[in-house]
């Protein structure tokens, strides 16, 4: 299933190698359960699988967030969301994926052009009157 959804060569190769080497325990560890959203957001090591941070899990989490926002704030289509990121590994890529998913749901996005400090996201959310904000960072 993972290989049919994942479009990122590095994480596809990671799963394919585990399959080729018949590493069932490791495959179960990364594919057997999904990350959970906690008080610090999504937190996991970067790598392939539903239990790790990667392009696919960011996309899926954002799709879930879109569905939630569409239920709790029908004005999200007018108010939009804010997306920011820091300078850490994959932050920009994850922020762009997040923005793309919102846009695919016809939700306007205020995406910071460059890295930003975490407080910029809630400040922009408040000043622009957005429905929600996402900050891609390894810190909280």
**Catalytic residue ranges:** 139
* Cα distance between residue 133 and residue 35, in whole Å: 20
Q: Which long-range contacts (CB under 8 A, 24 or more apart) does 119-128 make?
A: 120/84, 121/82, 121/83, 121/84, 124/82, 124/84, 125/81, 125/82, 128/79, 128/80, 128/82
Burial class (CB in 10 A: 0-12, 13-18, 19+), 69: buried
């Amino acid at each position: 299933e993972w290989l049919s959804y994942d479009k990122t060569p590095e994480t596809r190769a990671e799963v394919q190698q585990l399959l080729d080497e018949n590493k069932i325990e490791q495959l179960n560890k990364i594919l057997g359960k999904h990350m959970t959203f906690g008080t610090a957001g999504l937190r996991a090591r970067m790598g392939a699988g539903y239990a790790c941070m990667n392009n696919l899990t960011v996309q899926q989490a954002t799709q879930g967030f879109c569905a939630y926002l569409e239920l709790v704030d029908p004005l999200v289509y007018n108010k939009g969301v804010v997306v920011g990121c820091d300078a850490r590994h994959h932050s920009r890529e994850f922020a762009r994926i997040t923005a793309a998913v919102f846009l695919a749901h016809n939700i306007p996005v205020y995406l910071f052009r460059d890295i930003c400090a975490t407080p910029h996201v809630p400040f922009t959310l408040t000043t622009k009157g957005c429905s929600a904000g996402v900050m891609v960072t390894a810190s909280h």
